[in-house]
Homo-oligomer: A and B are copies of this chain.
């Protein structure tokens, strides 16, 4: 399992076999059951790469309101913020399903980055994309209504799925947190989109997008 893990991870897969083996030796594998906590704020820094399953990452504000930041799928990594800056972990990470992760301590990651310059570049590209996404979301939350954010989210989901029937990749409660609102408001906005004939809801978080263009342009 160890070598296949390294090979399946984008930031390591481009390396030569000998380099991959060196990394595999340092990696620690861990498994978590659905719902289990993988990391809490204040934990020691560690780079974690998802091998299988999905995990959710959130951050609580001072008042306790939780903001869902992202969902990590196989190949995605997390923990670079704490590892690179020497701070403690700032996020809460939990397993959404049964999850296996490959873990690297701060010291081991430092060694890998020194020996394998390509890894830093791969991580840099990924972190840059996340930063752009976070900044886009910041602008959307301060400048657009919940209705508008929801419409764009659903339109984007349909576009990336290449189908007009989509399955929400998380519970509606989580989607509300991700969009920066409450489950009550999300429910009402979905209802309004249905009333306006832009979507059609079916059980199990299945949504049929009837007018993607209009959905992405909702105010």
Contacts and interface: CB of A to CB of B under 8 A. Distances in A.
Interface stretch (A26-34, A62-70, A156-164, A202-210): A62-70
Contacts of A148: 62-63
Contacts of A219: 63
A16 to B, nearest CB: 15
Contacts of A136: 59, 90
A interface bracket (residues with beta carbon within 8 Å of B): 35 or more
Interface in A122-169: 123-125, 127-132, 134-144, 148, 152
A18 interface: no
B129 A138 contact: no
Contact of A123 (B124, B141, B144): B124
A128 B134 CA distance: 12
B129 A128 contact: no
Given A62-B148, A148-B63, A81 B128 contact: yes
